[in-house]
Amino acid sequence: MNLLKKHRNVILRLMDVIIVVMAYYTAYILINDQVFINIEENRIMINTILLAIMTYSCVLHIFKTYDNITRYETGYDYLIYVLACLISYTILTTLKLTFKLNTIANTRTNMVAALMIMTAIVSYRVIIRLILTEGYKVQKDGGKLKKNVLIIGAGEAATIILKTLKSTMKDTYNVVGLVDDNINKLNYAVSGIKILGTRNDIIRICQEKNIELILFTISNISNEERKNILNICQQTGCKVRILPGAKELIQNKSLMDSFRNVEIEDLLGRDAIELDNKNIVKLIKNKVVLVTGGGGSIGSELCRQIIKYNPKKLVIVDIYENNLYDIEQELKYNYPNQNIYAIVASVRDKKRLNEIFEEFKPYLVFHAAAHKHVPLMETSPLEAIKNNVFGTYNVVNCSDEYEVKKCILISTDKAVNPTNIMGATKRLCEMIVQAKAKESKTEYAAVRFGNVLGSNGSVIPLFKKQIASGGPVTVTHKDITRFFMTIPEAVSLVLQAMTYAKGGEIFVLDMGEPVKIYDMAVKLIRLSGYEPNVDMQIKVTGLRPGEKLYEELLMAEEGLEQTKHDKIYIAPPADITMKNIDEKLKKLNKMIESCNNEQREEIKKTMKDVVPTYKESK
């Protein structure tokens, strides 16, 4: 093997020469039914073989067959060998018939020899490939047993994966079969691995074959179908990994690095959201756009999507310099020709906001700056009021003073019938926006949605960390439910809602069906290859202060109208004026001056007076 690797090109050429010689002598013997060759016929055979060697060698060289790495040859490469042999035969036959050469063998001998050469050249290369593949061993520590693997999908990606697993990971993974929903493929094989059934057979196959790992290789599949198959997989107790697309196979040197762990987004089954990009482009292109809280989860994604529509300037405001720096550097690297301004400032500081609005005169404002963690705001309620309520008040007033076209508030489902301080402050923010819209040329609106997957403080990153550290996975209540949406789709709908805003609306995003947090924990644990409450405990810790079992997206009295987009609904403007708002804010100001964060009951009492729908959870 070492000799072959070192001098492979010379050895392969020599092998082909030997095959040509032996093929012609064998063909002569078969056709003439005699072993001994007289002097004249031997001269003809020698001339024929020399011409054949030159012809076959030149054609094989032209087709670059000697440049192939034998271990990685495929059916396509073998077809090239066959084609090269046919062309060589055609050249020899043409020379014989055209020039009527009596010094080379007859056409029949050439044909039989060509068939032998073709078969032999392909066969010995296949044998070498099999020997090399079998002999290539990857050393693993401790001589661990191979993992039994089931592959979902019997397409192009599965073929590449099987080939790589066989050639470089044979000692680690044992692929026992594939599943595919195309019933015409059943009982056929891909690279020697049999297709054992459809998705309906996954559980049975995993039990019978002791599967430990499932590789999901289908990329061209709807999110709903992916969710359905993954729901079946999570019942098997096997670890599941997903191949996002063919690009990952090319980009990653290691095959298994191409796969990712199952994300909860896969289990939600959301299809891609379609946007009316023309109206979004019209509003953003060549305009100055300002985003407060631009370093946060929602704010940073807003910046990523806004920059794609070529604003004249993108102004990012955040008090937390580390996140602000990160998003600034990311955008400047990806969009070096765009005008991006990162400004450290707090929305609490009206004077600083005035300076920013005076300098940049934004056309659009997205207000995402807020304190959002429910338990933390329960212990520091005055901070929530200062930042969320008065910060929003400052942004809203600056937008009016500097004649901003549209100002969009990022709100939350926790503002609906709030049971905690954070939700109550966000509801008051919505009221400020609705009231200001009645007396300003600026078009104000709020966009309300539920939990976003992967955001800072979201439950999913917490679950992943807990699973990675061996558990337990903590859930506050077995029946607690939440609405979920990915950050990109939430922000996409915010941009779309902006195009519908006329003034005072609360846009409610369709979050789909509410999801039980406990069920999400169970699925993530199972898809990570563990059995809930056997291999990994789920610990119910009890509801946190201000937390409620079920979130609502819309207050009963608001009513709901559908927009042109099937995922966006409108709650009509509320009957509230800035005079009412100013009276409420005076009460809050007075409370801030007289109370501290320890006087929580007094603060909550005032907030209930200011936000009538605020009722503490029991």
DSSP structure string for 274-336 = P--HHHHHHHHTTSEEEEETTTSHHHHHHHHHHHTT--SEEEEEES-HHHHHHHHHHHHHH-T
The pLDDT of residue 6 is 57
pLDDT for residue 566 is more than 70: no
Global pTM value: 0.60
Which residue has 């009982």 as its token pair?
187
**What value does the mean pLDDT take over residues 465-486?**
84
Is residue 287 very low, low, confident or very high in pLDDT (cuts 50, 70, 90)? very high
Contact 503, 443 (CB under 8 A): yes
Contact residues for 435 (Cβ-Cβ < 8 A; gap 6+):
574, 576, 577, 578, 580, 581
Give pLDDT, residue 555.
Answer: 43
Amino acid in the structure at residue 56? Y
Taking the CA atoms of the chain, what radius of gyration do you get in angstroms? 35
Residue 302 has pLDDT above 90, yes or no: yes
| Burial class of residue 298, CB neighbours in 10 A (0-12, 13-18, 19+) | buried
d(CA 490, CA 456): 15
- Burial zone of 341 (CB within 10 Å; 0-12 exposed, 13-18 middle, 19+ buried): middle
Q: Across the strands, what pairs with 449?
A: 412
Distance CA 500, CA 563 (A): 8
Percent of the chain's residues with pLDDT above 90: 38
User: Are 355 and 343 a contacting pair, CB within 8 Å?
Assistant: no
Residue 500, C-beta contacts closer than 8 angstroms, at least 6 positions apart: 445, 507, 563, 564, 565, 568, 570
Residue 288 in contact with residue 366, Cβ under 8 Å? no
How many Å apart are CA 197 and CA 181, to the nearest integer? 8
Per-residue model confidence as pLDDT tens digits over 260-280? 666 666 666 555 556 667 888
Judged by average pLDDT, the poorest of 86-90, 120-124, 263-267, 526-530 is: 263-267
SS3 assignment for 478-538: CCCEECEEEHHHHHHHHHHHHHHCCCCEEEEECCCCCEEHHHHHHHHHHHECCCECCCECE
User: Each residue of 42-53: pLDDT tens digit?
Assistant: 888 888 889 889
Dihedral of CA atoms 269, 275, 281, 282 in degrees, nearest 10, equals -150
- Lowest pLDDT segment from 163-177, 236-250, 404-418: 236-250
The DSSP string of 450-464 is: -EEET-TT-HHHHHH
Question: What count of other Cβ atoms lies within 10 Å of the Cβ of residue 16?
Answer: 22
> Lowest mean pLDDT: which of 1-5, 69-73, 306-310, 420-424?
1-5
pLDDT-wise least confident of 164-168, 267-271, 447-451: 267-271
Structure tokens, 203: 């559980």
pLDDT score recorded for residue 314? 97
Buried b (16+ CB within 10 A) or exposed e, 543-568: eebbbbeebbbbeeebeeeebebebb
Mean pLDDT, the chain, integer: 83
414 is a catalytic site residue = yes
pLDDT band for position 253 (cuts 50, 70, 90): very low
pLDDT of res. 141: 39
Structure tokens given for 387: 């930042």
Q: Going from the N-terminus, what domains does the chain have, and what CATH number goes with each?
A: 2-135 (no CATH), 143-262 (3.40.50.720), 277-610 (3.40.50.720)
Report the candidate in 609, 612, 607, 617 with the shortest Cα–Cα distance to residue 385: 607
Catalytic residue among 414, 426, 548, 584: 414
Give the per-residue pLDDT at 117: 93
Say which DSSP state 386 is in: I
Torsion of CA 203, 208, 210, 213, to 10 degrees: -30
DSSP state string for 525-575: HHHBT--BTTTB-EEE--PPTT--SS--SS-GGG--EE-SSTTEEEEPPPS
For residue 75, give both structure tokens. Answer: 């059916």
Higher pLDDT: 556 or 476? It is: 476
- Other Cβ atoms less than 10 A from the Cβ of 235: the count is 12
Residue 214 bridge partners (DSSP): 150, 240
Query: pLDDT at residue 200 above 50?
Result: yes
Residues 318 and 459: their CA atoms lie apart, in Å, by 24
User: 13-27, 64-78, 130-144, 337-351: which range is least confident on average?
Assistant: 130-144
Mean pLDDT to the nearest integer, 408-425: 90
Q: How confident is the model at residue 413 (pLDDT cuts 50, 70, 90)?
A: confident
pLDDT of residue 482: 76
In the predicted structure, residue 398 carries a pLDDT above the cut 60 = yes
